[in-house]
């Protein structure tokens, strides 16, 4: 499974970078997120309740940041376990570029699933993953906007 996308965010790269590293912001952007904690400078843990086709489960995720180049880019790699529902693993390269007072956020994701998730078919999994990514980045683009001075 592979996907990529681009969003323009009406905030400077430094503010977007800070939001990308804030567990509270990230939790608000992930549909079904029950908890998100920053374990170290480069590790997060999350619990997410999600539905992929007919499979609904709570998933435990471990995320690790690498290739960190503040405030320009990082790679986030993750492992997700959903018990009998299955598992997933993947990585996403996230890059930020200044753009006329705002920031362009680009991402490229690669991932794979196993267990029941793999049995429901790659088209359904790909479609669900694409929707989850689009929903996340759309929410992030709204939440990451700095408050305007009054």
pTM score, two decimals? 0.87
120 phi, psi to nearest 5 deg:
-80, -5
Distance from the Cα of residue 58 to its chain's centroid? 16
- CB contact at 8 A, 29 and 140: yes
Alpha carbon 9 to its chain's center = 16
Q: In the chain, where are the structural domains located?
A: 2-143
Which residues contact residue 76 at a Cβ distance below 8 angstroms, ignoring those fewer than 6 apart?
Answer: 63, 64, 65, 66, 91, 92, 94
- Beta-ladder partners of 40: 43
Look up the CATH superfamily of 2-143: START domain (3.30.530.20)
What is the three-class DSSP state of 132?
helix
**pLDDT tens, residue order, the chain (150 aa):** 888 999 999 999 999 999 999 999 999 999 999 999 999 999 999 999 988 778 788 999 999 999 999 999 999 999 999 988 889 899 999 999 999 989 999 999 998 888 887 787 777 778 888 888 888 988 998 888 855 433
- Strand positions, DSSP E, 10-144: 33-40, 43-52, 55-69, 73-81, 87-99, 102-114
């Amino acid at each position: 499974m592979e996907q990529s996308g681009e969003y323009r965010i009406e905030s400077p790269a430094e503010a977007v970078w800070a939001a990308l590293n804030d567990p509270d912001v990230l939790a608000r952007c992930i549909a079904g997120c029950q908890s998100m904690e920053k374990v170290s400078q480069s590790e997060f843990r999350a619990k997410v309740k999600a539905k992929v086709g007919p499979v609904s489960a709570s998933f435990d995720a471990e995320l690790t940041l690498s290739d960190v180049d503040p405030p320009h880019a990082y790679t986030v790699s993750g492992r997700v376990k959903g018990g009998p529902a299955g598992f997933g693993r993947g990585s996403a390269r996230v890059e930020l570029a200044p753009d006329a007072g705002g920031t362009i956020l680009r991402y490229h994701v690669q991932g794979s699933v196993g267990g029941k998730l793999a049995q429901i078919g790659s088209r359904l999994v790909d479609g669900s993953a694409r929707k989850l990514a689009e929903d996340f980045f759309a929410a992030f683009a709204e939440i990451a906007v700095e408050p305007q001075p009054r």
